[in-house]
Amino acid sequence: MVSDKEERNPDSLSTLLLPAFFATEPSVADATTTPIAHLVVIYQENISFDHNFGTYPIASNPAGEPSFTPSPDTPSVNGLSGAILTGNPKTTNPFRLDRSQAVTCDQNYDYTAEQQVYDGGLLDRFVQFTGSTGSGCIPNLVMGYYDGNTVMALWNYAQNFAISD
């Protein structure tokens, strides 16, 4: 016999059916050829895609540093290359940060500075308005990027998994 309290509780039936719902096996239609068991998202706060993957998969491989060699079928990203890398018409070309520069100064994240950087959608005033200004910092540091010799672990993940901007 069901008590008055249970009859008025709309959750009673769902509480009874919930374990049965989760106990069902997935149908054949739900199966995939390569089921995804885990999804790992690596997201660095206040770090742009170009900061870590701007020249992917091309690393400079300077002497004395671990070399990064991509798989032959590695696609490139729409990042820092050609005129964007060497002929930036603004104040500073993007430049590679060495392994000795792994710890960098923080940039200005103030609301006003970020609006000024936006520049009507051109996004071309990073050095002028968000550059590092602390003691021992240089304003153009916001244009620095790492490659596969410095953030090799991230580039190795990218060789085996998906990356996105």
Has residue 25 got a pLDDT over 80? no
Pure H helices in the chain = 4-8, 11-23, 49-53, 82-86, 111-118, 126-130, 152-160
Question: What CATH number has the domain bearing residue 89?
Answer: 3.40.720.10
Sign of the Cα torsion 107, 110, 113, 119 reads: positive
The average confidence (pLDDT) of the chain is 80
Residue 67 belongs to some domain of the structure: yes
pLDDT band at 91 (very low <50, low <70, confident <90, very high): confident
Res 90 pLDDT > 90: no
* Count of domains for the chain: 1
In a domain, 165, yes or no: no
Residue 13 inside a domain? The answer is no
Residue 72 is given by DSSP the state T
Q: Is the pLDDT of residue 35 over 60?
A: yes
What is the domain extent for residue 107? Answer: 40-160
Asked if the structure places residue 137 within a domain, the reply is: yes
Q: Is 96 helix (H, G, I), strand (E, B) or coil?
A: strand
pTM beyond cutoff 0.75: no
Residue 67 has pLDDT above 70, yes or no: yes
- Asked if residue 9 has pLDDT above 50, the reply is no
Question: Would you say residue 88 lies in a domain?
Answer: yes
Residue 29 belongs to a domain: no
- Least confident range from 65-79, 107-121, 128-142, 146-160: namely 128-142
- Does a structural domain hold residue 74? yes
Q: Is 106 contained in some domain?
A: yes
